[in-house]
Amino acid sequence: MARPITITVNGDKHSLEVEPRLLLVHFIRERLRLTGTHIGCDTTHCGACTVLLDGVPVKSCTVLAVQADGRQVTTVESLAVGGLHPIQEGFKQEHGLQCGFCTPGMMMSSFALLQEKPDPTEDEIRWALSGNICRCTGYMNIVKSVRYAAQKMKAAAAVPVEAGARS
């Protein structure tokens, strides 16, 4: 039996009827056609389907759409506002991607990490991303990408203070 749910995805409210067994990842990909979130393993191991649910990273292949009823979902499509997000910029500048399939999930996990820890160490980055598998890069450049983003976000956050000091 289909059930009505309302999920806010990237700020837009979507009220739809779904089967209770519909996975959140299929809701995002098939019902909303936001195909940046990928499916790599179906069993919560690879992290290609990582999205934020009320700001917390979850693997959307193991969350039912009905469980997200009334909640906020954030996907890769929301990262670039105007220009690229520093995380996206970091992945490009530091060659943090090759085939690109793990990249959206990897960036969403990185986003959550940087919200919690704006200046993470290498070990903290590696631990936070250990639920996201990359088969191409060997992770070294992904770590660099996240460090790049952290630096850039720190600098951006510091700008208003500096501007104020100068005046």
Kindly list the residues in this chain that would bind other proteins in the complex (CB under 8 A). 19, 21-22, 29-30, 33-43, 45-46, 48, 75-77, 79-80, 84, 88, 91-93, 95, 97-104, 107, 125-127, 129-143
Identify which of residues 60 and 132 has a Cβ nearer to other proteins in the complex: 132
Identify which of residues 70 and 151 has a Cβ nearer to other proteins in the complex: 151
For residues 45-74, one letter each, b for 16 or more C-beta atoms within 10 angstroms of the residue's C-beta and e for the rest, the string is ebbbbbbbbeeebbbbbebbbbbbeebebb
Identify which of residues 68 and 145 has a Cβ nearer to other proteins in the complex: 145
Determine contact, residues 114/87, Cβ cutoff 8 Å. yes
Q: Tokens 């999930």 belong to which residue?
A: 105
Least CB distance from residue 107 to other proteins, whole Å? 7
Least CB distance from residue 144 to other proteins, whole Å? 11
